[in-house]
Amino acid sequence: MVLPTNLHVVASNVKKISWDKMQRRHEKGLCFYCDERFTLGHKCWTSHLLLIKNIHEEGKGFLEEDHLWTKDDMQTDVISEISLHALSRWNALRAMRIVGHIFKKPVLVIIDSGSTHNFINDKVIE
């Protein structure tokens, strides 16, 4: 396998959403990323990579625009969830499962052309 010589990746098109803006969009039934109504099966015209981070570890939270959020700051009724079934859909007909390598460490890559969102494990990007 040929790897690129320059592994420095620059994030582009990063969109940060404040907690207040996220709540307003949720109340209006709008997608967080585009101005369309969010419905079952909604797909934005652009794709996104989302990060799921465990915030239930004691004393740890996540950063959002210079504010350290902890689980005490969160409202449990608006936290999104994803089921184990949704995460294990790699064996669906339209999904491909491949093993890739990042800095010589193996990572499982699941490519599903029918998914509405993309996720990456936080340990992969650390």
Residue-by-residue DSSP string for 53-73: ----STT--EEETTEEE-TTT
Q: What value does the mean pLDDT take over residues 20-49?
A: 80
Q: Are residues 31 and 62 in the same domain?
A: no
Residue 90 lies in a domain: yes
- Which pair of structure tokens corresponds to residue 28? 């209006």
Residue 11 lies in a domain: no
Q: Are residues 95 and 72 in the same domain?
A: yes
pTM confidence score: 0.30
pLDDT > 90 in the chain, percent? 1
Give per-residue pLDDT as tens, 56-84. Answer: 544 444 444 444 445 454 444 444 444 45
Q: Are residues 31 and 54 in the same domain?
A: no
Number of domains in the chain: 2
Residue 9 lies in a domain: no
Q: Are residues 23 and 51 in the same domain?
A: no
User: Which residue range forms the structural domain that includes residue 62?
Assistant: 47-125
In this predicted model, which residue has the larger pLDDT, 15 or 75?
15
Residue 1 lies in a domain: no
Residue 12 in this model has a pLDDT that exceeds 60: no
Q: Are residues 91 and 33 in the same domain?
A: no
Q: Are residues 42 and 52 in the same domain?
A: no
Give per-residue pLDDT as tens, 81-124. Answer: 444 545 554 445 566 777 888 788 888 777 766 666 666 777 76
